[in-house]
Amino acid sequence: MTADGQSTAARDVVDVVALGESMVTFLPGRPGRLADVPSFDRAIGGAESNAACVLAAAGHTVRWVSRVGADGFGDHLVETIGGYGVDVSAVRRDPERPTGIYFRTAGDRATDAHEVAYYRAGSAASAMTRGTSTWTPYGPGGCCTCPGSPRCCPRAASAWSVS
């Protein structure tokens, strides 16, 4: 039982679990090809973290389950996403693998001029399995958001034993 009268089990249940890799995104300071842009601004990226931050800001209880490197980029992700009110207690730090990053152009994503360069091979989240992360329950009516939903992605389903 907690000080506010909630059971510990009830406190651990959230409305939404966001499961997956978030990355540090580098956005160009001005339009142009990646080869021509002189500077970039740092932000967060990833469907899971974007959804988690919006849902937490709207008043839902949200927990992000992931892995990030034990590096400055991992610090940035955990601090920024946590700053939106997302519970980051299930994010694990990997001392041997880096946090994933990517660069993208400022152009319209629907055009051929849009460029994205991912640097996520071997990232901390790429090694995420049920054994290296903390799965957490969500309450009745709650949901889990993850890329390649287990129903669509057999690899995710088998790795997490989700049906």
Question: How many C-beta atoms surround the C-beta of residue 47 within 10 A?
Answer: 14
| Residue 153 pLDDT | 39
Mean pLDDT computed over 28-45:
90
Please state, in angstroms and rounded to a whole number, the distance separating the CA atoms of residues 92 and 68: 6
Convert the pLDDT of each residue in 103-159 to its tens digit: 988 766 666 668 889 998 999 988 887 776 666 555 555 566 665 444 433 444 444
Hey, what are 44's tokens? Answer: 């967060």
Distances (CA, A) of 138 to 42, 90, 163: 31, 13, 15
DSSP 126: G
Task: Kindly state the percentage of the chain with pLDDT values over 70.
Answer: 69
Tell me the chain's radius of gyration from C-alpha atoms: 17
Nearby residues of 78 by Cβ (< 8 Å), 6 or more positions away: 68, 88, 91
At residue 44, the pLDDT reads 94
Name the H helices within the chain.
Answer: 8-12, 47-57, 72-83, 154-160
pTM: 0.77
- Nearest by Cα to 90 from 151, 2, 17, 1: 17
Q: Which two tokens stand for residue 48?
A: 């899971």
Q: Which residues contact 16 (CB under 8 A, 6 or more apart)?
A: 51, 52, 55, 60, 61, 62, 63, 138, 142, 143, 144, 145
Q: Give the model's pLDDT for residue 158.
A: 44
